[in-house]
Amino acid sequence: MRKLENRYVWEVPVRATHWINMLSIVILSVTGLFIGAATTVAHSTSDYTMGWVRFVHFTTGYIFATSVVSRIYWSFVGNRYASWREFVPFVTADGRRRMMQTFRYYLFIDRTPPDVVGHNALAGATYLLVFLLYLLMVLTGFALYGQYAPGGVVSRLTGWLFLVISNQGVRLAHHLTMWLLIAFAIHHVYSAWLMDVKEKGGVISSIFGGYKSIRVKG
Amino acid sequence: MDEHSGGHGNGNGQASISQLLEERGVSRRDFLKFCSAMTAALALPATFAPRVARALDEVKRPTLVWLEYQSCTGDTEALLRTANPTVAEIVLDILSVDYAETIMAAAGHLAEENLDKVLKDEKGKYLVVVEGAIPMKDGGVYCCVGGRTALDRAREVCGGAAATIAVGTCASFGGIPAAAPNPTGAVGVRDAVPGVTVVNMPGCPLNADNLSALVVHYLVFGKLPELDAIGRPLFAYGKRIHDNCERRAHFDAGQYVEKWGDEGHRNGYCLYHMGCKGPETFHNCPTQRYNEKTSWPVGSGHGCAGCSEPQFWDTMTPFYRRLPHVPGFGIEKTADRIGVGVAVATAAVFGAHGVVSAMRHKDTSDETKED
């Protein structure tokens, strides 16, 4: 027999950056798709539709970048569930075993989801990949943005990218990575839902309130 | 090439440029107009025009040699058709062109002797213009002039020059000869001749007014203008086409050409939707224009092809789409179609997983019902 215990898992910065990221990605994807495949929407040359769409995209880009950097910072000062160690389970034999455990559950080989408090090991490793994609988006996005003012701060920080990849290559990477992140979002919502049902730990509500129901031996 | 500057230019370097222009029937007024145009091209304040004129009056004519390798001669053509100044002014009077394959009278070993003489007598003082890419593969055998490879000769000539000007996209970045699969191993001058001062003036063709402005800058200030990270002068390549485009208001408004010849096209809307590479391309085409400032591609209703950017043939294609093809996928697959495919496949996989999971009632954490 086990007892349920409510444990504070996701601290405020973790939840805040999670939702800021989510909202940013939605706004950035919608505005980005319009920027990438613009069609005529204006009735007059005095309109400023694309101007505003780009303004929202760039502003949201700054917010998203700040959120991503804040979350990375928090992975060094936050609690153990927010720690960077959660995202590199594959460096230890135990972590690899736990990743495989989750993987087996996903493949319907095992019937019991692994007992975890924070992220499961497979999710942690996935989020490392997702954060690398975030950083790729921030880098390619700011590099493209910075081109409006060569020699400016943004272009000085990111202009080197064009010496490595062609301008069009940067755009293609920015575009395809958006689709990878959309695919991730689909998987993420599904997996959270699945684990909410199967773990019965309230993982969905935990990202709103911060508490998870943990089974402890008692 | 005529008797005026044939053989070697240092012999008649004493005559001032205005004197030479006068001899050729170019009025003082036209000369000052040219000075004003060059001042504007260099983005200098108008008050610099008299200084430009004075400097050009006093300057000693530098010797220039024009090397042509893997090219279509389009840059020579562009120069011969330059509006400011006329051909005679720039080629014969401002510069002493001692070697230029396309236009010199001398041929064969006599021509090569001219070049050797410049290398010896003007060492460290002459300017070199290179047009065309330089092949590196198999020791550079795919382009030879006078029995020597372009690579060998360019290293010798550029190595002894005060500065090298790579004109056109081929000389700057390899251009079309360097496009995949690049059978001859073509590269731009900077890669072929490392360690020398190279100014890149890409464009297909080069905008000759920009070359004139560069030479004027060199003559007036005695040094090269400020360059960007890939060797392009900022006065001509410091801003994107998109940021100075005459159709920019339509871009910001949200008015695009969506089909060739549609209403938007007839109204001069933005060509972004049709794959215009103005947002990817650093060049002063919108302000400098071509053919005596008559027009330029976007001005005449066609999107920018990005011709002055590195690897333009490989990366700016397809010219009528915004994004390149995704490597490994079919020609008609755009990034968005692949992206939608990835998203739909993800939804399908996890949707199916959800159906299976829903039917498996006993796979939850242990003893939860009692809790």
Q: What is the CATH number for B266?
A: 4.10.480.10
Domain-located, residue A104:
yes
The Cα A92–Cα B270 span in angstroms is: 55
- In 3D space, the residue among B69, B42, B76 whose CA is nearest the CA of residue B205 turns out to be B76
Amino acid (one-letter) located at B43: A
Look at A186 and B309 and tell me if their CB atoms are within 8 Å. no
- Over residues B100-115, the pLDDT tens digits come to 888 888 888 889 998 9
Q: What is the CATH number for A34?
A: 1.20.950
Domain-located, residue B22:
yes
**B259 contacts in chain A (CB < 8 Å):** none
Is residue B192 domain-shared with residue B248, that is, in the same domain?
no
Q: What is the pLDDT of residue B87?
A: 43
Overall number of domains in chain A:
1
Look at A112 and B238 and tell me if their CB atoms are within 8 Å. no
Look at B366 and A112 and tell me if their CB atoms are within 8 Å. yes
- Over residues B179-237, the pLDDT tens digits come to 999 999 999 999 999 999 999 999 999 988 888 888 888 888 889 999 999 999 999 99
Of A2 and B325, the one with more pLDDT = B325
Domain-located, residue A143:
no
pLDDT band per the 50, 70, 90 thresholds, residue B16? low
3-state secondary structure chain B: CCCCCCCCHHHHCCCCHHHHHHHCCCCHHHHHHHHHHHHHHCCCCHHHHHHHHHHHHHCCCCEEEEEECECCCHHHHHHHCCCCCCHHHHHHHHCEEEEECCCCCCCHHHHHHHHHHHHHHCCCCCEEEEECEEECHHHHCCCEECCEEHHHHHHHHHHCCCEEEEEHHHHHHCCHHHCCCCCCCEECHHHHCCCCCEEEECCCCCCHHHHHHHHHHHHHHCCCCCECCCCCEHHHHCCEHHHHCCCHHHHHHCCECCCCCCHHHHCCCECHHHCCCHHHCECCHHHHCECCCCECCHHHCCCCCCCCCCCHHHHCCCCCCCCCCCCCCCCCCCHHHHHHHHHHHHHHHHHHHHHHHHHCCCCCCCCCCCC
**Does the pLDDT value for residue B319 go beyond 80?**
yes
Domain-located, residue B221:
yes
- Which residues, including other chains, have CB under 8 Å from residue B276's CB and lie 6 or more apart? B270, B298, B303, B304
Is residue B163 domain-shared with residue B247, that is, in the same domain?
no
Tell me which residue range forms the domain holding A104: 2-138+197-217
Is residue B18 domain-shared with residue B117, that is, in the same domain?
yes
From the list B258, B335, B363, the residue facing A39 with the nearest CB is B258
Residue B251: phi and psi, rounded to 5, are -65, -50
Is residue B206 domain-shared with residue B296, that is, in the same domain?
no
Residue where a domain terminates, one of B315, B339, B360: B315
Is residue B183 domain-shared with residue B162, that is, in the same domain?
yes
Q: What is the mean pLDDT of residues B21-25?
A: 71
**Does the pLDDT value for residue B1 go beyond 50?**
no
Domain-located, residue A42:
yes
Look at A183 and B343 and tell me if their CB atoms are within 8 Å. yes
Look at A167 and B357 and tell me if their CB atoms are within 8 Å. no
The Cα B328–Cα B331 span in angstroms is: 9
| Contact with chain A for residue B354, Cβ under 8 A | yes
Q: What is the mean pLDDT of residues B278-296?
A: 91
Most trustworthy range by pLDDT among B74-83, B88-97, B153-162 = B153-162
Q: What is the CATH number for B80?
A: 3.40.50.700
Compute chain B's Rg from CA coordinates: 27
Tell me which residue range forms the domain holding B280: 241-315
Domain-located, residue B209:
yes
Is residue B97 domain-shared with residue B28, that is, in the same domain?
yes
- Over residues A33-58, the pLDDT tens digits come to 999 988 898 889 899 999 999 999 99
Domain-located, residue A151:
no
The Cα A140–Cα B339 span in angstroms is: 18
Domain-located, residue B229:
yes
Instruction: Identify the sign of the CA torsion B309, B223, B155, B207.
Output: positive
Domain-located, residue A158:
no
* Polymer length in residues for chain B: 371
Mutate to test the interface with B, among A25, A29, A168 (most CBs of B within 10 A): A168
Is residue B146 domain-shared with residue B225, that is, in the same domain?
yes
From the list B234, B253, B323, the residue facing A45 with the nearest CB is B253
- In 3D space, the residue among B137, B178, B150, B158 whose CA is nearest the CA of residue B68 turns out to be B150
The Cα B182–Cα B178 span in angstroms is: 5
Q: What is the pLDDT of residue B47?
A: 87
Residue where a domain terminates, one of B236, B271, B300: B236
**Does the pLDDT value for residue B371 go beyond 50?**
no
Interface of A with B in 154-193 (CB under 8 A): 159-160, 163, 166-169, 171-172, 175-176, 178-180, 182-184, 186-187, 190-191, 193
The Cα B21–Cα B8 span in angstroms is: 19
Domain-located, residue A162:
no
Q: In this predicted complex, what is the ipTM?
A: 0.90
Interface of B with A in 251-270 (CB under 8 A): 251-256, 258, 264, 269
Look at A182 and B339 and tell me if their CB atoms are within 8 Å. yes
Q: B18 is written with which tokens?
A: 């205005």
Helix (H, G, I), strand (E, B) or coil at A95: helix
Domain-located, residue B232:
yes
Q: B71-85, B255-269, B303-317: lowest mean pLDDT where?
A: B71-85
Q: What is the pLDDT of residue B362?
A: 66
Overall number of domains in chain B:
2
Domain-located, residue A69:
yes
Q: What is the pLDDT of residue B85?
A: 53
**Does the pLDDT value for residue B283 go beyond 90?**
yes
Q: What is the pLDDT of residue A218?
A: 59
| Contact with chain A for residue B324, Cβ under 8 A | yes
Is residue B96 domain-shared with residue B172, that is, in the same domain?
yes
Is residue B197 domain-shared with residue B96, that is, in the same domain?
yes
Query: What stretches in chain A show pLDDT beneath 50?
Result: none
Average pLDDT value over all residues in chain B: 85
Amino acid (one-letter) located at A128: L
Q: Classify strands B163-167 and A211-217 as parallel, antiparallel or unpaired.
A: unpaired
Look at A113 and B365 and tell me if their CB atoms are within 8 Å. yes
Interface of A with B in 32-61 (CB under 8 A): 33, 36-42, 44-51, 53
Look at B253 and A42 and tell me if their CB atoms are within 8 Å. yes
Is residue B253 domain-shared with residue B170, that is, in the same domain?
no
Compute chain A's Rg from CA coordinates: 20
Residue where a domain terminates, one of B215, B236, B257: B236
From the list A4, A46, A198, the residue facing B253 with the nearest CB is A46
- Which residues, including other chains, have CB under 8 Å from residue B109's CB and lie 6 or more apart? B146
| Contact with chain B for residue A152, Cβ under 8 A | no
Is residue B293 domain-shared with residue B183, that is, in the same domain?
no
**Does the pLDDT value for residue B12 go beyond 60?**
no
Most trustworthy range by pLDDT among B106-120, B275-289, B329-343 = B275-289
Size of interface A-B (CB pairs under 8 A): 166
Is residue B161 domain-shared with residue B185, that is, in the same domain?
yes
| Contact with chain B for residue A216, Cβ under 8 A | no
Of B17 and A183, the one with more pLDDT = A183
Q: What is the pLDDT of residue B2?
A: 39
Residue A116: phi and psi, rounded to 5, are -140, 155
* Polymer length in residues for chain A: 218
The Cα B179–Cα B133 span in angstroms is: 11
Q: What is the mean pLDDT of residues B138-146?
A: 93
Q: What is the pLDDT of residue B7?
A: 38
Look at A47 and B253 and tell me if their CB atoms are within 8 Å. yes
